[in-house]
Structure 1
């Protein structure tokens, strides 16, 4: 899922000779070593061997190492393990615990779980995306919608063919409890690249890259979230395609207001009630963006680092600036939610920014889903 520039050196330098040899064997790379520990010497020896291999094998190493490196963090490996266990697989716990770092653990799981590892990497990348645009639709069971995937593919082709895109298009899906992730793989229009081909520089290499359209649909709540390149018009078209082709309902996408900006204006009475079972340490209103009703003056207020919780610091800032929220329209608010870490590692914290009418920076991790539940509980998420 990674799209930024990547260098394998910082990844390879952390891998043991045994794991690197296992990877080479899996990819039919003739690599053996007498070096007994990870480090620069082992890395350089492996790269020299790799340089002698065909381009196809070198490219496969790059693709593999990008995925393994990206998910090779503490949280990433925990996510991998939980999903592998959910699929009913087991692993050698003793061997896993003896590995020295997260990169080794991620490579170990790649070597042992192959295709499932790749699928989970895709899920992990999606869970960490931001910029989803929501729409309240109807609730339909999983079984009733997955049979319509071909129709969704045709609907997306209709949208993109006007831009000479989508000649080849495929939609795959991943089921996660009540949420279903749909990923559209869309062939882009023809472009040309400058690239090396068997050591020779080629200035015009024709290529049709593939870009993605992402949907997350909650079968119980009927909430649809969309992420794709393009402005409001394109997002609207993609929502309509999903509703008409997959849900088989009439699309009436009106860019509804999802978040309760009016409630924020009653700041003196604004509360964030939690139960002990919510495992919340504190909730703080950290920021506001306002537009004056008459003058259209824009105001931004951020309380910064403060020991105050709830709305206390924001109320003090408003009084100091002599601002009456009833004279303004709230266009954005920011909350900081600190969870109880239960004595385990770093304290989990989520900063959520909600912008008018339905833009939110939450991701799709379990902790973000919990924040969405709290927003509903506080009547801040109207969907």
Structure 2
């Protein structure tokens, strides 16, 4: 379920003592009695907040939104990953992890990190952002070379990206690339200049249009161990291979991008039509149940002919299959196969909280909306154990 931010709700979830620390460090609300304010009832603080000048509130609200975003499982994981890089002393790292883990909730963990460990904060927010992005494009078959992180190589990548977008799309006059290490992976966050825009906004109480030059994102994640690049770019699909080639040239020092082997993996979705089909998972995974919410059947004979079945699987896990049974009498099933399925999984993440609902879609031949964070990897393992998730073809034995 999507999380929605509001300042008052943020105050409600954050312990009063941490709110006091935040504001006192900014020389605000020293006379406000945070200790007397009832936890979870920030009405008085919110009134005081509204009395601040807009410019001052806007700057802090931006930080609150960032802390709010990081107040979740993915945010905490990103903090721990960056802390593992930042702390050279294993004992200090262990103390840091134990300190955060002992706190009551992720709101406290995020705020403590923001207040006390700013060296971890910025990069952790970038990792979190990358973890939430869909539609990554993987390129394999690359040599397992160490990624270059020197200033000259970074400048080279910036220049290649800037020139490409300038001459093909008329944007990208400037570009900045930042690189960070996360475990065995190298992250490259590129920010080319986008088209100039006018946004309708309030400035000092005046409603007006204001021009500005935003940036757009190109994110690379390189695995030396796998010899692969994961690319996230929300733009023209034709740009994918050139963008991969620029990384290979500037960072891996390759003369050209190696051929991309055809992905022959295929999801086998037809077994899901059988009532006897069971999803396979272990109690240790935290997965409590998996149900089919929607099926799409495509004709094997007439291209483009499709039938979509959707039912309330929350009240009856077999609702979609029961609906299918009712139409089988008039539908020649041998002329159709499953090309898309929407699933809903119930996953226990925190022993003290209700299970989380995770919805995802699989589309034939090899597309899946699951990401590669901790929870989604468990669901991918579940699909593999169930015979649905495609496996990599093993190379022939020598």
TM-score by length of 1: 0.76
Cα separation, partners in 2 of 1:18 and 1:171, compared to 1, 3 Å: same
The residue that corresponds to 1:381 in the other structure is 390
Cα deviation for residue 345 of structure 1 reads 3.2
Choose the corresponding residue for 2:217, options 212, 217, 220.
Answer: 212
1:188 aligns with 2:187: no
CA distance in 2, matches of 1:315, 1:96: 43
The residue that corresponds to 2:231 in the other structure is 226
1:116 aligns with 2:124: no
The residue that corresponds to 1:354 in the other structure is 362
Map of 1:1-383 to 2, 5 A cutoff? 7-15=6-14, 18-27=17-26, 29-35=27-33, 36-37=36-37, 39-48=42-51, 50-51=52-53, 55=55, 57-73=56-72, 75=73, 78-79=76-77, 82-83=80-81, 86=84, 87-88=86-87, 89=93, 90-91=95-96, 102-138=106-142, 140-141=144-145, 143-146=146-149, 148-162=153-167, 163-198=169-204, 202-203=208-209, 205-247=210-252, 248=254, 250-251=256-257, 256-257=262-263, 259-261=265-267, 263-265=268-270, 281=288, 287-296=294-303, 297-302=305-310, 304-305=312-313, 318-322=324-328, 326-328=334-336, 330-338=338-346, 343-347=351-355, 350-375=358-383, 378=387, 380-383=389-392
Deviations 1:277-303 (A, max 9, x none): 666555555543232122231112346
Alignment length (residue pairs): 369
CA distance in 1, matches of 2:280, 2:103: 43
Verify the 8 A CA contact 2:76 2:110 in the aligned structure 1.
Answer: no
Q: Give the match's secondary structure for 1:211.
A: coil
Deviations 1:85-121 (A, max 9, x none): 534444597798576x654443232111124123212
Cα deviation for residue 80 of structure 1 reads 5.9
Cα separation, partners in 2 of 1:37 and 1:218, compared to 1, 3 Å: same
Q: Give the match's secondary structure for 1:221.
A: coil
Cα separation, partners in 2 of 1:112 and 1:47, compared to 1, 3 Å: farther
Structure 1 segments unaligned to the other structure (5+ residues): none
Cα separation, partners in 2 of 1:92 and 1:266, compared to 1, 3 Å: closer
Cα deviation for residue 138 of structure 1 reads 2.6
Cα separation, partners in 2 of 1:186 and 1:25, compared to 1, 3 Å: farther
CA distance in 2, matches of 1:215, 1:238: 9
Cα deviation for residue 51 of structure 1 reads 1.2
TM-score by length of 2: 0.73
CA distance in 1, matches of 2:143, 2:312: 40
